[in-house]
Amino acid sequence: MKKSILLLPIFFLMLLSCSDAYDIIQDNELPEDEAYVTIGHLRSGLNGAYAAYGPDFGGDAIAFNDLFTDNIRRGPNNNGQGAEEYNFLMQPNSDMPTSVWSNRYATINRINRVLRAYDRLFPTFNEADQRNAKHVKGNLLALRALCHLDLFQYFTVDYKNLSAPSIIKMDFVPSSPFDVYPRNTVGEILAFIKQDLTDAKTFLNAGLQLVDGETTLPSGVTAYNSVIYLRPVAVDFIRCRVALLEGDYPTAESIATTILATPAFDLANRAAYLQMYGNADAPGECIFKLSRVLNNNSILNLFYFNTNSTGPIDPYLTASRQLYDLFPAGNSANNPDVRRVVIFGNVVTPENLAINNFPIRKYVGSTDGPTINDVKLFRSSELKLIVAECKARNSDFLGAATAVKELRDKRISTTNVLPTYTSLNGALTDILLERRKEFAFEGHRYLDLKRIGGEINVGINRLESDAFSFSAPTSLAAGDYRFTLPIPTVELTANPTIVQNPNY
C-alpha cells in the first residue's frame, strides 16, 4: 500500500519548524522500549488490547443493531436518547460509524504496538518465555483479524465484489500522525483477515509444548486459553464467519459442523442457557466472550439510567412490542421459550403489557454483581444457524429444517414441529427470524438484515405502535444504502485519500 504524498514543500518546512509543538515527550510518558521488557509486559499489552475492544461501549454495535432496526422502542424515561438512530438518520458524524471506526482502529493500533515489541523481545527470551510469547502473538493476530472483520462488515457495501473499496488495512504502526492511507479493496481485506487467522492458529499451536508424548499448555499459558481469549476454536469461528460473508458456504458449513461435533461446544440446554446469562463463570455455549468486571463497561447503561438493590430502573430504551410478540404467550418467567425468559424476565406484568413497556432483562447482572455481564460474542447457536443456512443454500432444505429444529428443541420446552422449506427464500426467511430471537441485543440484527435481508427483500418493518414511540418511520427498504455505514467525519477530515460510501 502506498502512502499519500503531499506535494507542498512549504507545508513540510512548516511541520519541521513546528515539530516541537507536537513531538513532545511528557514527563510521565514511558517509552516503548521501557514499557515492554518482559513476557509479563507483553501479556499486559495483550490484556490492554482486549480491554480496548468495545462493542458494548455507548453508541457501538450492541446498542445500535437493535435500535436502528426493529427490536427496540422508546422507554418511559427517555429524553431523546436513540432518536436519531431510530429515525434512520445516519450521517458521517453519527455516533455509530464514529464509535466503530475509532474504537477498532485504536484497538488495532494497540495490537500493532505490542506486536512490534514482540519482534524486538522474542530473540532475548528463554525457551519457556518464547512459547508464552508465541501464544500472546497468536491472540493478538486473532484480535486484529476480528477488528478488521468488524470494520469490513459495517463499512463495506458489497462483501463479494473483490475489487470494490472496503476499509484500511493496518498491520503496522504509522511512523507519523500525519500519514494517510486509502481504502483497500474487498479482496485485499479478506485475504489479509484470512492470513492473520492462519498465522494466529500457527502461533497459538506453537505456544504448546510436548510433555510425555502429550501436547499441553505450558506454565503461564493456561489462563490465556479460556473462553475470554481467542483460542484456536475461536479463530476457527472467525474463519467460519468470513467464509459465510464471502459466499464460501461449503467451508462455512464444514467449520461450523466440526466445532459443534465437540461435546464442549454443544448447544446449551435450558438450564445452561439461563446460567450463561446469570452466572459470570458459566460459559454455557459461549466460545468467546469479553470479560467484564466491576467498574468495567456495563451493558445495562445502554438501556437504563439507574440501578438499585433490586436491579435496573428508569429504562430509556425497552424492547419492541413486535419482538415480544414473536415468542409464545404466557408469563415470561415460566415461558416455554427460554429466550423470552432471558430477554424479559418476569417484569412484563399486565400493567406493563397494557402500556407496551417491555424492559430488557438480558443484562441485569450476574454472580459478579448486579450490573456486571460478560459480552457474549461467539456462541454455538450461531454455528447451528450457519449450518442451516449453508444447507439451504445447497438446496438441502430438509437438512436446513433439521438444524433449525435442533436449536428450537434446546430453547423451547414444548413440542417443535419440523419446519417445511420448499425454497431458498422461505428457508432464509425462517432462519433470519430465528437469528432475530436468538441474538436479540447481542449485536446481530442490523448486520443480519444487511446480509440476508437484502438478498430476500426483507428490510425493517416495525409495528406502528413501536415506531410511534419515537415518531419514527415504520420501514426501511431492504438494500437501502444505510445498511452500510458512512466513513466517519473524523477520518474524512484527516485523510484526503479516503473515498466515502455511496449516497452519504
Same domain, 238 and 157: no
**Domain region containing 45:** 37-212+478-497
What CA–CA distance (Å, rounded) separates 349 from 419? 32
pLDDT in tens, the chain (504 residues): 333 333 333 233 333 344 455 555 565 567 788 889 999 999 999 999 999 999 999 999 999 999 999 999 999 999 999 999 999 999 999 999 999 999 999 999 999 999 999 999 999 999 999 999 999 999 999 999 999 999 999 999 999 999 999 999 999 999 998 999 999 999 999 999 999 999 999 999 987 765 665 667 777 787 788 999 999 999 999 999 999 999 999 999 999 999 999 999 999 999 999 999 999 889 999 999 999 988 787 899 999 999 887 778 999 999 999 999 999 988 888 899 999 999 999 888 888 888 999 999 999 888 888 888 999 999 999 999 999 999 999 999 999 999 999 999 999 999 999 999 999 999 999 999 999 999 999 999 999 999 999 999 999 999 999 999 999 999 999 999 999 999 999 999 999 999 999 999
What is the 3-state secondary structure of 271-336?
A: HHHHHHHHCCCCCCCEEEEECCCCCCCCHHHHCEEEEECCEEEEECEEECHHHHCCCCCCCHHHCC
What CA–CA distance (Å, rounded) separates 425 from 458? 10
DSSP H helical segments within 18-94, as ranges? 32-35, 39-52, 61-67, 83-86
Task: Please report whether residue 70 resides in a domain.
Answer: yes
Same domain, 406 and 351: yes
User: Domain count of the chain?
Assistant: 2
User: Long-range CB contacts (< 8 A, 24+ apart) of 156-159?
Assistant: 156/186, 156/189, 156/484, 157/484, 157/501, 157/502, 158/186, 159/186, 159/245, 159/246, 159/247, 159/451
Look at residue 23 in the predicted model and tell me its pLDDT.
Answer: 54
What CA–CA distance (Å, rounded) separates 88 from 461? 12
Task: Please report whether residue 468 resides in a domain.
Answer: no
Count the neighbouring beta carbons within 10 Å of the beta carbon of residue 310.
8
Please list the residues that pair with 311 across neighbouring strands. 308
Task: Please report whether residue 44 resides in a domain.
Answer: yes
Same domain, 196 and 110: yes
Look at residue 211 in the predicted model and tell me its pLDDT.
Answer: 60
Same domain, 195 and 63: yes
Look at residue 409 in the predicted model and tell me its pLDDT.
Answer: 97
Same domain, 492 and 371: no
Same domain, 429 and 485: no
Please list the residues that pair with 460 across neighbouring strands. 476
Same domain, 384 and 486: no
Task: Please report whether residue 416 resides in a domain.
Answer: yes
Task: Please report whether residue 308 resides in a domain.
Answer: no
Residue among 32, 19, 70 nearest 446 (CA): 70
Task: Please report whether residue 387 resides in a domain.
Answer: yes
Task: Please report whether residue 282 resides in a domain.
Answer: yes
Look at residue 332 in the predicted model and tell me its pLDDT.
Answer: 81
Q: Please say whether the beta carbons of 165 and 183 come within 8 A.
A: yes
What CA–CA distance (Å, rounded) separates 192 from 171? 9
Same domain, 203 and 234: no
What CA–CA distance (Å, rounded) separates 368 from 380? 23
- What's the grid cell of residue 244? 459465510
Task: Please report whether residue 29 resides in a domain.
Answer: no
> pTM surpassing 0.85?
yes
Same domain, 208 and 237: no
Same domain, 75 and 121: yes
Angle at 69 between CA 68 and CA 75, to 5 degrees: 70
Look at residue 138 in the predicted model and tell me its pLDDT.
Answer: 97
Same domain, 189 and 251: no
Look at residue 25 in the predicted model and tell me its pLDDT.
Answer: 56
What is the 3-state secondary structure of 201-233?
A: HHHHHHCCEEECCEEECCCCCHHHCCCCCCCHH
Count the neighbouring beta carbons within 10 Å of the beta carbon of residue 207.
23
CATH number for the domain spanning 92: value is: 1.25.40.390
Look at residue 209 in the predicted model and tell me its pLDDT.
Answer: 64
Same domain, 156 and 64: yes
Residue among 151, 71, 60 nearest 324 (CA): 71
